[in-house]
Amino acid sequence: MIKAVIFDLDDTLISEKEYIESGYRHISKVLSKRFSKDAETLYQLLLELLNISSKNVFNRLLDRLGIVCVEEDIVELVEEYRKHFPDIHFYNDVLPCLEKLKKENIKTGIITDGYAESQRQKLQAVNASDYIEEIIVTDELGREYWKPHPFAFEKMREKFNVEFSEMIYIGDNPNKDFYISKILPIKSIRIVRSNSIYMNAPYYESVKENHRIKSLLNLNLLSITGE
């Protein structure tokens, strides 16, 4: 019997693309004030550069604008991006799913990787703690405990006082979200979002999810447990 459902955050409960766009809006305003450039033009340039490659977008933007910069300038922009308070929202299927789980007395949690400050800003932006009982940001445990390390799952089990076999984990990233089922007896579910950043990422050590869904509205705990 499933007693706890644990979620990933990015591209599972919220859109990473929406977060990136929010961050670029913020950076565009910062650079607009600093260099007297049109913020919307800067924003569109950032999106254009991102579509070409996700690497060194800020460096390439400044190069495109003919602005000479040093490493400290880029570090400052990255920090601005990470600490900004994002304009993001839950996917439409999230709150109905959480409401259903609550009615069924299923405990809910989040285990998320990423820089702690950024992840906490995201969580606050969607008021995640109003809907989710326990939240673990792995970066706060130490970078070495990012997924697929099992430590966060062990801590979540202790918080909920359930067995690993009574937990499921829902994520999107094949490169780290589903390997946990090889380490611990936790069922994993892959949610396939149309705009997922890691849609085509390889599976870590070829370990795949136990189940796959396209919407949290399709989450059926009975079919997962076979009860």
Identify residue 132 by its one-letter amino acid code.
I
Q: What is the DSSP string of 180-216?
A: HHHHSS-EEEEE--TT-TTTTPPPGGGPPPSEEES-G
Q: Which CATH architecture has domain 4-14+89-225?
A: 3-Layer(aba) Sandwich (3.40)
> What's the angle, vertex CA 203, arms to CA 197 and CA 209, rounded to 5?
95
Q: Is the pLDDT of residue 225 over 80?
A: no
Q: How far apart are CA 192 and CA 108, in angstroms?
A: 20
Long-range contacts, 128-133 (Cβ 8 Å, 24+): 128/9, 128/13, 131/95, 131/98, 132/7, 132/98, 132/108, 133/107, 133/108, 133/109, 133/160
H helix or E strand, kind and range, residue 135: strand 134-137
Question: pTM here?
Answer: 0.94
**Quick one: what percent of the chain has pLDDT higher than 90?**
95
Structure tokens, 61: 């933007």
Structure tokens, 202: 């390889």
What pLDDT score does 224 carry?
A: 72
Question: CB neighbours of 98 closer than 8 A, spacing ≥ 6?
Answer: 108, 131, 132
Per-residue pLDDT of 50-94, as tens digits, reads 999 999 999 999 999 999 889 999 999 999 999 999 999 999 999
- Indicate the DSSP class of residue 92: T
Q: How far apart are CA 210 and CA 189, in angstroms?
A: 6
Going from N- to C-terminal start, the domains of the chain cover: 4-14+89-225, 17-83
